Amino acid sequence: MDWAVPLSDLVVEDDDLRAVTDTYRSGWLSMGPRTRQFEDLFARFVGTRHAVAVTNGTAALHLMCLAVGLTTGDEVIVPSLTFVATANAVRYTGATPVFADIAGPARPWLSAASCEQVITSRTKAVLYVAYGGHAGEIGALRDLCARRGLILLEDAAHAAGSWWHGRHLGTFGTAGAFSMFANKNLAVGEGGVVVTADPDIADRVRLLRSHGMTTLAWDRHQGHAHTYDVVALGYNYRIDEPRATLAACRLRRLAAENQRRARLDARYREALGDLDVVIPGHPVDAVPGQPVDDGCARSHHLFAVVLPADVDRDAFRGHLSERGVQTSVHYPPVHRSTVHAAPPGSPRRELPLTDGYAARTVTLPMFAHMRDDQQEQVVSATGKALALARTSSRRRDTSDETAAR
């Protein structure tokens, strides 16, 4: 389907194409010097010591979890309102994801109070997900982890360009993982980055990224090494040079693109403010009601609305679709998925706020190059769809009653 306004869209500039073409012409395509250049740029961008680029965001999460020592028997507290890869990465290590609830319908991020309730003697870490790029309760989670002796990790897949009080998301805990999937703010197709200030963790991630081998193909090519040992059970999670080149080019435009997203976010809030929907978060600051401080910015990765209870979400999305507007749902809760549901007989943890949010949220189009007329189309279609979906849900309720009688 050709959408008048797609959910997200990406422009690859001529400069990007030239740089990638030069990389192909260089004759070195697997991981090498351009990857190292991108890693240096990314580490500087987020303000930490080490960045290690890998083949995708899920690999970044996996290696981050391994590098901090997560293993069988450990419990890791995660939100259920996230992409399934967050919980999968924990499971790959043998550890168990333990789901905690969000803070509220307008605050769809991991609640520190809910995390505290599920801490046990096996809890080893908290894995925060910056939903939509929101810093959420990252400050409270950092304090909680310090107080209870837990490792703080971050899934910063949505958060490229999100700062909270002068610190970039992904750098609040021991390590953070970013994604460069095609629909993320820093998009190269497939790609990921682990960031950390700890040199031992960075070394461990580098080792595991390339089969646990002590030297790299690039070093052998350069004549720096002739053989290697294999010292850990590693993976092939390497990125290649064309993608690292594209990532470096796109990183230089990220701040400007995120500013454009911020303006779109502000216009959405103004234009949809009179409608009967909840808009999560606050234009700039992470915590509603608190003053907007310097040093806070957001990636504006998603723009979500929460529908009132009497609106039929499928009908609402159908009406938007008929008007050429693509929507999505972030996310079907992970704790309800077959693979992550509590095994039969074990106590099921209730996550009422996550369930409520996930049942009523709709993600509207958001991308840096959205034109003003496209955004106006979304706004006007949203108003119409809301009215129509409400009427049609009432009508259906009535006919259901008629059928029951």
Q: Which residue, 158 or 206, is less far from ligand PLP as judged by CB?
A: 158
Closest approach of ligand PLP to the CB of residue 35, in Å: 16
Closest approach of ligand PLP to the CB of residue 226, in Å: 35
Closest approach of ligand PLP to the CB of residue 61, in Å: 6
Q: Which residue, 51 or 85, is less far from ligand PLP as judged by CB?
A: 85
Measure the CA–CA gap between 196 and 171, rounded to whole angstroms.
7
Q: Which residue, 303 or 316, is less far from ligand PLP as judged by CB?
A: 303
Closest approach of ligand PLP to the CB of residue 157, in Å: 3
Closest approach of ligand PLP to the CB of residue 54, in Å: 9
Residue ranges that bind ligand PLP, judged by CB under 6 A: 56-58, 82-83, 85-86, 129, 155, 157-158, 179, 181, 192
Closest approach of ligand PLP to the CB of residue 88, in Å: 9
Q: Which residue, 176 or 192, is less far from ligand PLP as judged by CB?
A: 192
Q: Which residue, 128 or 316, is less far from ligand PLP as judged by CB?
A: 128
Written as one letter, the residue type at 239 is I
Q: Which residue, 48 or 179, is less far from ligand PLP as judged by CB?
A: 179
Q: Which residue, 155 or 285, is less far from ligand PLP as judged by CB?
A: 155
Three-state secondary structure string covering the chain: CCCCECCCCCCCCHHHHHHHHHHHHHCCCCCCHHHHHHHHHHHHHHCCCEEEEECCHHHHHHHHHHHCCCCCCCEEEEECCCCCHHHHHHHHCCCEEEEECEEECCEEEECHHHHHHCCCCCEEEEEEECHHHCCCCHHHHHHHHHHHCCEEEEECCCCCCCEECCEECCCCCCEEEEECECCCCCCCECCEEEEECCHHHHHHHHHHHECCECCCHHHHHCCCCCCCCECCCCCECCCCHHHHHHHHHHHHHHHHHHHHHHHHHHHHHHHHCCCCCECCCCCCCCCCCCCCCCCCECCCCCEEEECCCCCCHHHHHHHHHHCCECCECCCCCHHHCCCCCCCCCCCCCCCHHHHHHHHHEEEECCCCCCCHHHHHHHHHHHHHHHHHHHHHHHHHHHHHHHHHC
Q: Which residue of the chain is nearest ligand PLP when measured via CB?
A: 57
Q: Any residues with CB less than 8 A from the CB of 88 and at least 6 apart, and which? A: 58
Closest approach of ligand PLP to the CB of residue 99, in Å: 14
Q: Which residue, 86 or 111, is less far from ligand PLP as judged by CB?
A: 86
Q: Which residue, 77 or 129, is less far from ligand PLP as judged by CB?
A: 129
Closest approach of ligand PLP to the CB of residue 81, in Å: 10
Retrieve residue 84's tokens.
Answer: 């399934």
Q: Which residue, 179 or 196, is less far from ligand PLP as judged by CB?
A: 179
**Please, what is the end-to-end C-alpha distance for the chain in angstroms?**
41
Measure the CA–CA gap between 357 and 362, rounded to whole angstroms.
10
Q: How many CA atoms lie within 13 A of 265 on its CB side?
A: 25
Closest approach of ligand PLP to the CB of residue 80, in Å: 12
Closest approach of ligand PLP to the CB of residue 225, in Å: 31
